Amino acid sequence: MASSLRISRLLSRSFLSASTTTPLFSRGGSGALGAGLSKFSTAAAIEEPIKPPLKVEHTQLLIDGKFVDAATGKTFPTLDPRTGDVISHVAEGDHEDVDRAVAAARKAFDRGPWPKMTAYERQRILLRAADLFEKHNDDLAALETWDNGKPYEQSAQIEIPMLVRLFRYYAGWADKIHGLTVPADGPYHVQTLHEPIGVAGQIIPWNFPLVMFAWKVGPALACGNTIVLKTAEQTPLSALYASKLLHEAGLPPGVLNIISGFGPTAGAAIASHMDIDKLAFTGSTETGKIVLELAARSNLKPVTLELGGKSPFIVCEDADVDEAVELAHFALFFNQGQCCCAGSRTFVHERVYDEFIEKAKARALKRAVGDPFKGGIEQGPQIDSEQFQKILKYIRSGVESGATLETGGDRFGNSGFYIQPTVFSNVKDDMLIAKEEIFGPVQSILKFKDLDDVIQRANNTHYGLAAGVFTKNINTANTLTRALRAGTVWVNCFDTFDAAIPFGGYKMSGQGREKGEYSLKNYLQVKAVVTSLKNPAWL
């Protein structure tokens, strides 16, 4: 893969017609899939789901280098979003398990070997782990798709390679973290040390389980920290598999501990633990507030938060409408719309608005929806019943508030958590579908008249995670990129994620940055060391 891994390289294009594609995996005991998929139909949803060609082996907690049962012995089911059927039962971690994991991480940090290991050796372990991730690409991708519902092509061709790239990127940083020698007014030698912060508590979401795993674990390990990480209860499987590979690469016991469980129990125990030195959370803004409060009430541990968004995608009057429609479609519908930075408010200039609406509707109708293990599928099911019902509720709200439902608006098929690609026009700024994070395949298209108008409206939100600008005019692009209050602004592209590009939000979209050099600061303490000099030759 090239060093800059762009999601849009694969998914911003239209997939081949599903009727001409073949399944990536065969169903258990059967051969070809049979009849092809009719796009935006129920054909795929009523077919027997394709059976992934792997066995789920790791369902226990990972504590101190060993897979163990929860202290209570409890388990919970993780479900296949294509059907709602149980994939496997996973250990349900609680506060006692968090205590055990923190104790292991504390020991591994205070007594070594991880922070006492040379940076070069830490680098070699992270590089070996990346090689193992690459070797097991297909199994990791199949597990991710099975547990999450995202297209297998997306998992295998984008997200696992991105996992590999991120670990190699942070491995490269491991032996390049250093402080400074600082001049002082007097006979003193002053140096700064950049030290690992200690035990990091990390809580990751369900929409990009392995990518978020890399965003959190990579920089923390490169800086010499130890970790207690809680997976999302909807998608616990892939992080356990990846962690096994990390230990195969030589990661010492206790350095990385994985707790599967629920937010109010395991998540709260991590956020409020007195022996965790730093906390990182990705998820909803509402939960982020709770996490921040728990951290403050305990030991005032520093917190980085990557939270929700309601990102504007602005199509200017000079836009090539066909290209703008395709990119706006990708910006919203990618990953079933389950992206914190999705371009979920599509602002279109009044001069091209009507043409854009017709073409956006046609593009949504062509979207290939179905079993994510089948080749050519662009959209799989939503993550679970709760998210499925939430999205349908927002769709009803859009209709009731007077927006025009151009296409979609209902479930797709008769089983699983599939939703039709949905497009609304004539959306107003005060409608819920224009204000709140839907986290689903629902495109809301709003009309604007000039730059002053769209800047004011785009910024009129509690969020500030990302924005997209589509224009041929460099002056327009420069005006918008500086005026939009968002942590990332993509110009004539969207969802371009490189390991070196920082990511994070303004306002209620979070605090701190992930990825790139900026993320290392989250996991380091800065110490000033001042030593008196006697008769120095120079100052």
DSSP string, 391-434: HHHHHHHHHHTT-EEEE--SBSSSSSS-B--EEEES--TTSHHH
Residues near 289 by beta carbon (within 8 Å), at least 6 away in sequence: none
Task: Tell me the C-alpha distance between 18 and 354, whole Å.
Answer: 29
Nearest to 68 by CA among 200, 258, 295, 222: 258
Q: Are strands 61-63 and 488-491 parallel, antiparallel or unpaired?
A: unpaired
Q: Please measure the distance between the N-terminal and C-terminal CA atoms of the chain and give it in whole angstroms.
A: 49
What are the respective helix, strand and coil percentages of the chain, to the nearest 5?
Answer: 40, 20, 40
Tokens at 316, concatenated = 């200017």
Q: Are strands 66-68 and 278-282 parallel, antiparallel or unpaired?
A: unpaired
C-alpha dist (Å) from residue 139 to 62, 333, 416, 484: 19, 25, 23, 41
What amino acid is encoded at 162 in this protein?
Answer: M
Contact 85, 254 (CB under 8 A): no
- Helices 160-173 and 209-222: crossing angle in degrees, nearest 10, is 10
Nearest to 389 by CA among 366, 426, 355, 419: 419
Q: Let me know if 306 is a catalytic residue.
A: yes
β-bridge partners, 503: 514
Task: Tell me the C-alpha distance between 93 and 71, whole Å.
Answer: 7
Residues near 104 by beta carbon (within 8 Å), at least 6 away in sequence: 63, 64, 65, 253, 254, 257
Task: Tell me the C-alpha distance between 276 and 256, whole Å.
Answer: 13
The dihedral sign for the CA sequence 258, 261, 262, 266? negative
Contact 109, 115 (CB under 8 A): yes
3-state secondary structure of 124: helix
Q: At 121, give phi and psi (nearest 5°).
A: -70, -40
Selecting among 92, 153, 306, 514, the annotated active-site residue is 306
Task: Tell me the C-alpha distance between 374 and 39, whole Å.
Answer: 13
Task: Tell me the C-alpha distance between 24 and 521, whole Å.
Answer: 41
Active site residues: 306
